[in-house]
Amino acid sequence: MNNYVTTHRPSPQRRVKPNGPVWLFDLDNTLHHASHAIFPAINRGMTEYIMDRLNVDVDEANRLRVGYTVRYGATLLGLVKHHGVDPADFLRVVHTFADLPSMVRAERGLTRILRALPGRKIVLTNAPTLYARSVLAELGIAKLFERVIAIEDMREGNRWRAKPDAPMLRRTMRRANVRLQDAILVEDTRGHLKSYRRLGIRTVWIVGHLPVAKTSGGGLSARKPGAGRPHYVDRTVRSLRALTLGMRGGKL
Ligand SMILES: [Mg+2]
């Protein structure tokens, strides 16, 4: 029988050092303005790819592209699962641009803004690695992030995963040595914020890059994107600059 007394009990005086925040930044429409030129080009490329490989018309291709994004978080997952599309080929074709530098737009002073945020920084994107790294390099901010978790890094064995998959997030965070309670997700897609808030992650909704909704009359909606704060959003900001300006003592 074991009746020895353990000597490894932590002393009550020893304070556990609180961990700083770990920022999880989405890429498109968070770190840069993708709605301007990159998203239209990616969407066009995906639609053409689907028309060509699946032999469908433009309406069906658009329906599949949008439908799979809504259902799985990324068009790729639906194309692999239901149509046996070659993932590497698809990702390469639809994320290759003749002139990426002319398409990338971002906030002024982005480097300074990100540097002002205390804590570790990670990019978490449903886009492929090569594209994500090219955009970060173009923005001049690649060195500010300790790692890029791209869609290739979200796989579970040979199964593709994407945000907002919960087991994927737990797994990638474990691998990156991030406790969920320390993580703050900065993201434009509400569904991802909603899903991950349930895991105990804090959430920032960035709305400055969201396209302004058109009214049925063709005018711009009076309701700005991001008006009103959903219950799963800890903070809504229009820009990353606004995020840093509103921080008090390293808190949201
Ligand atoms: Mg995004």
- The predicted structure's pLDDT at residue 214: 56
Give CA angle at 61 (55, 65), nearest 5°: 135
132 plus 241 within the same structural domain: yes
Q: Does residue 168 carry a pLDDT above 60?
A: yes
Number of domains in the chain: 2
Average of pLDDT values for 136-161? Answer: 97
Q: Does residue 145 carry a pLDDT above 60?
A: yes
Cα gap 26→24, rounded to integer Å: 7
Distances (CA, A) of 102 to 35, 44, 109, 157, 224: 14, 18, 18, 37, 27
Q: Does residue 219 carry a pLDDT above 60?
A: no
- The predicted structure's pLDDT at residue 224: 58
Distance 190 CA to ligand 1 centre (A): 9
Distance 122 CA to ligand 1 centre (A): 14
Is 241 inside any structural domain?
A: yes
222 plus 134 within the same structural domain: yes
Distance 7 CA to ligand 1 centre (A): 50
57 plus 159 within the same structural domain: no
Distance 175 CA to ligand 1 centre (A): 23
- The predicted structure's pLDDT at residue 102: 94
Q: Does residue 8 carry a pLDDT above 70?
A: no
Distance 143 CA to ligand 1 centre (A): 20
Confirm if 114 and 142 have CB atoms less than 8 A apart.
Answer: no
pLDDT bucket at 250, cuts 50 / 70 / 90: low
Distance 76 CA to ligand 1 centre (A): 16
Structure tokens at 141: 């901010």
Distance 82 CA to ligand 1 centre (A): 24
166 plus 110 within the same structural domain: yes
Q: Does residue 114 carry a pLDDT above 80?
A: yes
Predicted TM-score of the model (pTM): 0.86
- The predicted structure's pLDDT at residue 71: 95
137 plus 183 within the same structural domain: yes
Distance 248 CA to ligand 1 centre (A): 26
56 plus 131 within the same structural domain: no
154 plus 78 within the same structural domain: no
117 CB-near residues (< 8 Å, 6+ apart): 23, 243, 244, 247
120 plus 140 within the same structural domain: yes
83 plus 137 within the same structural domain: no
